[in-house]
């Protein structure tokens, strides 16, 4: 029987995950079906229960349910624990394991697809919510010279930096405390782009030859991609590559085979 997978979120109609996993399945000859599930804001857990009762084998979890999926899972990977958020559920009978593939998705896109040299780089990470928590440890594992978490609400950035201090050279501050500082890579993990806004940054905080990366993806250049281009970023990347790479890691966890992401990224880019 065809194994059932889905992505659950709210809203969900624009999710590209079915297209991505469909392409992975064709490429690797895996017999799976992958659909979109509109999760109920009140009854997310019941929706997951039902999916499991219907024989579902795995779920991708997106906004706004990643923290609830974290609480739902019976067991958790270390990276899900680090992020306190789950974007991938693996279902084995009535046991549910939670993982988080967002961090590895960003790292693979930056370093494998685009050859950005994180080691020794000065990195600015914008935001202090779930999206940022998910990528902190893998970014620090890549040994940047410094990693500054800057958030509109400074307190949250300070708390996150304090909680991660043992992992590497990380500090936290408010967006309004960046004057005079320069970075080789600025990663936007805020929700500002959802309303076409850009976090309020000093104009000169991108070093010459620096890159920008928006974790968000949209069919048009995002507001932060435009921000990077206007400041002559060597590369102003959006989150399409990260989206496909995190999906590939979920697919590998579910099916035990790693798909080739390059043709899938290229097809989505040209669509
Ligand atoms: P997610 O789980 O997607 O990261 P979240 O936990 O709600 O979502 O976090 C949203 C992040 O985007 C926060 O860091 C938020 O800043 P505050 O902590 O100050 O709320 C940030 N954010 C949202 N809108 C923003 C804006 N217009 N400018 C700057 N930061 C913004």
Q: Please give the CATH topology (third level) of the domain spanning 3-100.
A: Rossmann fold (3.40.50)
Per-residue model confidence as pLDDT tens for the chain (271 residues): 899 999 999 999 999 999 999 999 999 999 999 999 999 999 999 999 999 999 999 999 999 999 999 999 999 999 999 999 999 999 999 899 999 999 999 999 999 999 999 999 999 999 999 899 999 999 999 999 999 999 999 999 999 999 999 999 999 999 999 999 999 999 999 999 888 999 999 999 999 999 999 999 998 999 999 999 999 999 999 999 999 999 999 999 999 999 999 999 999 999 8
**Paired tokens of 74:** 């019976």
Rounded Cα–Cα distance for residues 238 and 101 (Å)? 17
Q: In the prediction, which pLDDT does 115 show?
A: 98
Q: In the prediction, which pLDDT does 11 show?
A: 94
Q: In the prediction, which pLDDT does 102 show?
A: 96
Pocket perturbation via mutation, ligand 1, pick of 68, 80, 126, 152 by most ligand atoms within 8 A of CB: 152
CATH architecture for the domain at 103-241: 3-Layer(aba) Sandwich (3.40)
Write down the pTM of the prediction.
0.96
Q: Is 156 in the pocket of ligand 1 (CB under 6 A)?
A: yes
Contacts for 253 with CB less than 8 Å, ≥ 6 apart: 58, 88, 90, 99, 101
Q: In the prediction, which pLDDT does 104 show?
A: 97
Q: In the prediction, which pLDDT does 160 show?
A: 96
**Paired tokens of 96:** 């549910």
Q: In the chain, which residues fall in CATH 3.40.50.10860?
A: 3-100
Tell me which DSSP letter residue 137 carries: H
In ligand 1, which atom is closest to the CA atom of 128? 14
Q: In the chain, which residues fall in CATH 3.40.50.720?
A: 103-241
Q: Is 155 in the pocket of ligand 1 (CB under 6 A)?
A: no
Q: In the prediction, which pLDDT does 265 show?
A: 98
Asked if the bond preceding 64 is cis, omega within 30° of 0, the reply is: yes
Q: In the prediction, which pLDDT does 130 show?
A: 87
Q: In the prediction, which pLDDT does 1 show?
A: 80
Strand 146-151 with 235-237, pairing: unpaired
**Paired tokens of 163:** 């909680």
Q: In the prediction, which pLDDT does 271 show?
A: 87
Cα 190 to averaged position of ligand 1 atoms, centre (Å): 5
């Amino acid at each position: 029987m065809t194994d059932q997978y889905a992505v659950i979120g709210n809203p969900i109609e624009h999710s590209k995950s079915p297209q991505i996993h469909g392409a992975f399945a064709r490429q690797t000859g895996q017999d799976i079906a992958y659909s979109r599930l509109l999760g109920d804001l009140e009854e997310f857990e019941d929706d997951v229960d039902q999916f499991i009762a219907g024989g579902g084998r795995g779920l991708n979890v997106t906004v706004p349910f990643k923290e609830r999926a974290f609480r739902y899972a019976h067991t958790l990977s270390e990276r899900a624990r680090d992020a306190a958020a789950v974007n991938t559920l693996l279902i084995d009978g009535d046991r549910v394991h939670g993982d988080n593939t967002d961090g590895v998705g960003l790292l693979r896109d930056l370093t494998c697809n685009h050859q950005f040299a994180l080691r020794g780089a000065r990195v600015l990470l914008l935001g202090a919510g779930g999206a940022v928590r998910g990528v902190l440890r893998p970014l620090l594992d890549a040994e940047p010279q410094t990693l500054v978490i800057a958030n509109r609400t400074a307190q949250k950035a300070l708390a996150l930096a304090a909680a991660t201090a043992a992992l590497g050279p990380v500090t936290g501050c408010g967006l309004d405390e960046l004057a005079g500082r320069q970075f080789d890579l600025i990663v936007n993990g805020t929700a500002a782009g959802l309303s076409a806004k850009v976090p309020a940054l000093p104009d000169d905080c991108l070093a010459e030859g620096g890159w920008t990366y928006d974790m968000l993806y949209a069919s048009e250049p995002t507001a932060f991609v435009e921000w990077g281009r206007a400041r002559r970023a060597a590369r102003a990347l959006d989150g399409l590559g990260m989206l496909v790479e995190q999906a590939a890691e979920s697919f590998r966890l579910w099916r035990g085979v790693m798909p080739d992401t390059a043709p899938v990224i290229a097809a989505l880019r040209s669509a």
